[in-house]
Amino acid sequence: MKNEANLGSESVGKLLFKLSLPAIVAQLINVMYNMVDRMYIGHIPNVGASALTGVGVTMPVIMAISAFAALVSMGGAPRSSIMMGKNDKEHAEQILGNCTILLFALALILTIVFMLYGKSILMLFGASDTTIGFAWDYMRIYTLGTLFVQISLGLNAFITSQGYAKTSMMTVLIGACCNIILDPIFIFVFDMGVAGAAWATILSQAVSSIWVLKFLFSEKSFLRIKPKYFKLSARVVLPCLALGLSPFIMQFTESVISVCFNTSLLKYGGDIAVGAMTILTSVMQFSMLPLQGLTQGAQPIISFNYGAGNADRVKKAFKLLLISCLVYSTALWAIAIFLPQVFIGIFTNDAQLMVFSEKAMRVYMAVSLMFSAQIACQQTFIALGNAKASIFLALLRKVLLLIPLIFVLPMFMSDQTMAVFMAEPIADFIAVSVTVTMFTISFRKLINKMNQPIKEQLDPAC
């Protein structure tokens, strides 16, 4: 296969650097993509704090839309890499074609649902009478760009999975640059406020979508989108959806968790607590997305070599991934705990909100340095095609631990608002402990299985 990286023979360390660096840059740019609206909105004269809180309430909807892109792409992309490792290009392109048409269908359904029920959903998600106007102004416009989100996020994963990390990075860079340029023009020059930020975002996503489609239809891509593979096939789609269910749960439950946090914080701490949560969510995105960039760089290496039956390269790739994730998360944790104002000042200049957010951040991100191990192990399960383990781990942290803790802890602590924030580090500590134990046992068994004859290495239904 001809691409930017030789996944089967090039040095694993060199490959991880070559693929992860553009992916990390893309994720950092993606952070700016998501944060730049809030940065500008938070500084709108007179209404900045309320507008920021209102846009924060839309985050569950935005995460839900992104989750459906992950359901298709994060299952389809690793499977296409595995098929390339098996030298089965036809099956890999069939996966790409089926996933493309599925993303279009999901975009249509989501657009209709959120346009009809979006305002009611926002009220359910924690909007108040003060913030619903800002939230709906942003959401009703953003919903119109659902197709662009599905295509730019969903199909870009197939570019990364082939080893075209620089091209994948350009997808994000082009959109982010457009957003950064258009935001101040629409918000301040045209005096469109929150609505201007939404228009800037969907126009930028449209540009990214065009870039992705142009590449995947061209001869520059090893795997190409071909209309003959648009007809959905259960044997192609179902294994992809099974594998994509874990990242879907991780992202979709972020939406549910955001609702739980917002409603609980509104009850105990009011709009200022919800505003602080908007800031903390943004910082957590900054923490998570570069780690996801590392796993995106490692995924093609692990998946391709797993498909090719090369156990040594799989082990080396995971070891380097884990070490890299731990180093990064430790550095970020130190800044969040000891210099939280570095992050908070980006989003607001409201003195009361800044003081409250500093205290909340130290609680919320208390054990975030450990979470890198969770991401590295869980994403490696996905890269290896192990859907069952990755689904369980996704459910464990958020559904079984975090959501109950958000509602239970305030019943036992005097500072009920901080008790809500405390749910995050407690859930992280338990989940990471279980994940590392489970992965250590499973990974050893899986590596041993790779040394068996090639036909026994991969169960497509796993």
Among 425, 455, 290, 454, smallest CA distance to 361 is for 425
Determine contact, residues 59/258, Cβ cutoff 8 Å. yes
Handedness of CA 345, 347, 348, 354 (dihedral sign): negative
**pLDDT greater than 50 at residue 461:** no
Average pLDDT, the chain: 84
pLDDT number for residue 349: 76
Of the chain, the percentage scoring pLDDT greater than 90 comes to 27
**pLDDT greater than 70 at residue 30:** no
In Å, what is the CA distance from 136 to each residue of 114, 125, 354?
11, 12, 25
Residue carrying structure tokens 């995050």: 424
Confidence of residue 457 (pLDDT cuts 50, 70, 90): very low
Exposed, middle or buried: residue 305 (CB in 10 Å: 0-12, 13-18, 19+)?
buried
Confidence of residue 5 (pLDDT cuts 50, 70, 90): low
Determine contact, residues 273/356, Cβ cutoff 8 Å. yes
Mean pLDDT throughout 387-402?
85
pLDDT number for residue 418: 92
Confidence of residue 384 (pLDDT cuts 50, 70, 90): confident
Q: What share of the chain is helix, strand, coil (3-state, %, to 5)?
A: 85, 0, 15
Supply 247's token pair: 């990242």
**pLDDT greater than 70 at residue 305:** yes
Confidence of residue 110 (pLDDT cuts 50, 70, 90): very high
pLDDT number for residue 458: 44
pTM of the complete model: 0.72
- Per-residue pLDDT of 140-199, as tens digits, reads 999 999 999 899 989 998 998 888 888 888 888 898 889 888 988 998 888 888 888 889
- Per-residue pLDDT of 50-108, as tens digits, reads 777 777 778 778 878 888 998 999 889 989 988 988 889 999 999 999 999 999 999 99
For 216, residues 6+ apart whose C-beta sits below 8 A from its C-beta are 96, 100, 155, 158, 159, 223, 224, 225
Supply 402's token pair: 């975090």
CA 240-220-231 angle, 5° bins: 35
In Å, what is the CA distance from 122 to each residue of 62, 72, 173, 283, 287?
11, 25, 30, 22, 26
Of the chain, the percentage scoring pLDDT greater than 70 comes to 91
**pLDDT greater than 60 at residue 455:** no
- Per-residue pLDDT of 327-382, as tens digits, reads 988 988 998 889 888 888 877 777 888 888 889 999 998 888 888 888 889 888 88
In terms of residues, how long is the chain?
462
Mean pLDDT throughout 249-272?
82
pLDDT number for residue 454: 47
